[in-house]
Structure 1
């Protein structure tokens, strides 16, 4: 049985708690958050606290807070020589205070509190300084059904950067597409099969080979029509930038 204490109450912390709380060989000893009201609804399922000095003993302390708060929170922990990990893709392992055994337990997935999450689809990227700690974190990930991958800091950094492109930026493009369809009363839902097919296609093809569209084909007339139709300058600038990027990738350099 691996015992854990969760620190933080955001999307990642909430989903980890739910996963750990139903795992057979994991015990969530405590859940900390500075604003205890954020986790008060779970008070009948786990011991909750807003006082760092009252943290219980555990095998692993998981810091799941905003990136900027990780280092400071780790410094405020009153104990020493415990395995303390964070869940960030971009924060260094050495940002955790040196009085602790340090590690990273990075779930490479997008999390929303109200969306169900199957951890079988959440690869956990693990980084530790001590090999013994790696095996504990790997067992912890396996206990919730997650595939695991041992990574170093540089690999984790570029994975997180790439994730911003394929998830956060892509979602913003969905939002722009939604705005464009709404402007003429068209149904955004008609685009959902296309979105799914685009995602499914790269399971078999590289993104380079999967690329289609007017930019790749260099359909000048279509591109000009699209640009003329875009009344929002911000949307037009994004269209031009991405068109140029596709053309440069596929041997075209002019709109």
Structure 2
């Protein structure tokens, strides 16, 4: 049985607690929050505390707080030589206080308290300093039914950056699409099958091969119509930037310029 104590009361902490309580090989000994009211509803399920001095011994202490608070929280822990990990995708392992054994237990997924998640579908990225600590964190991931991936700090930061593009930026695109449909009284739900199919395609094809649309096929007439339709200057800027990025990726921007240059040369010769 692996014993863990969770420090933090945000989205990641809450989902980890719920997932751990469903396993047979993990026990949550304590759950810490500076604002105990945020986790008081779980007091019948776990020992909830708001005082670091009340932390008892556990195999793993999981710090699931905001990135900026990780160094301060790890420094405040009143013990030494125990395994302390954080769950951040972008914070260095070395930001944890060196008085304890250090690691990272990073679930690569988006978390909202209102949305259910299945840890069996969530990759867990593991990083440790001590070699003996990796198997324990791997076992913790396996207890959740998750796939585990041994990575270094640079790889984790690259994954976090990429995750911002595929998740946060994509979600903002959904928000813009929602605004566009709302303006004409069209239900956004009509787009949901397309959203699902787009995500499904990259399970089997590379994003490069899955790309479609007017920018890829260099359909400038459609692009101009779209830009004319957009009323927001911000939306026009985003549309133009992404269109040019797709054109560069698929060569249509270069081909267009080459075609224009060739046409100019032909006219000059004819003249």
Q: TM-score, normalising length from structure 1?
A: 0.98
Match of 1:230 in 2: 230
The offset of 1:168, in angstroms, is 0.5
Per-residue CA distance 1:203-242 (angstroms, 9 max, x = gap): 1100000000001111111000100111011111100110
Give the distance between the partners of 1:234 and 1:46, measured in 2 at CA. Answer: 48
Match of 1:45 in 2: 45
Per-residue CA distance 1:122-160 (angstroms, 9 max, x = gap): 110000011110000000010011111100111101000
Match of 1:114 in 2: 114
The offset of 1:187, in angstroms, is 1.1
Match of 2:14 in 1: 14
Match of 1:188 in 2: 188
Match of 1:78 in 2: 78
Give the distance between the partners of 1:144 and 1:158, measured in 2 at CA. Answer: 24
Match of 1:32 in 2: 32
Equivalent residues in 2 for 1:81-230 (5 A)?
81-230=81-230
Aligned partner of residue 69 in structure 1, secondary structure: helix
Give the distance between the partners of 1:176 and 1:35, measured in 2 at CA. Answer: 36
Give the distance between the partners of 1:195 and 1:218, measured in 2 at CA. Answer: 23
Per-residue CA distance 1:41-65 (angstroms, 9 max, x = gap): 1000000011111111100000000
8 A Cα contact 2:126 2:151, kept in partner: yes
Query: Tell me, which stretches of 5 or more residues in structure 1 are unaligned?
Result: none
Aligned partner of residue 137 in structure 1, secondary structure: helix
RMSD: 0.9
Match of 2:260 in 1: none
How many equivalent pairs are there? 255
Give the distance between the partners of 1:219 and 1:22, measured in 2 at CA. Answer: 52
Query: Tell me, which stretches of 5 or more residues in structure 2 are unaligned?
Result: 257-271
The offset of 1:114, in angstroms, is 1.1
The offset of 1:253, in angstroms, is 2.7
The offset of 1:21, in angstroms, is 1.1
Aligned partner of residue 120 in structure 1, secondary structure: helix
Q: TM-score, normalising length from structure 2?
A: 0.93
Following TM superposition, where does structure 1 have runs of at least 4 consecutive aligned residues deviating by more than 3 angstroms? none
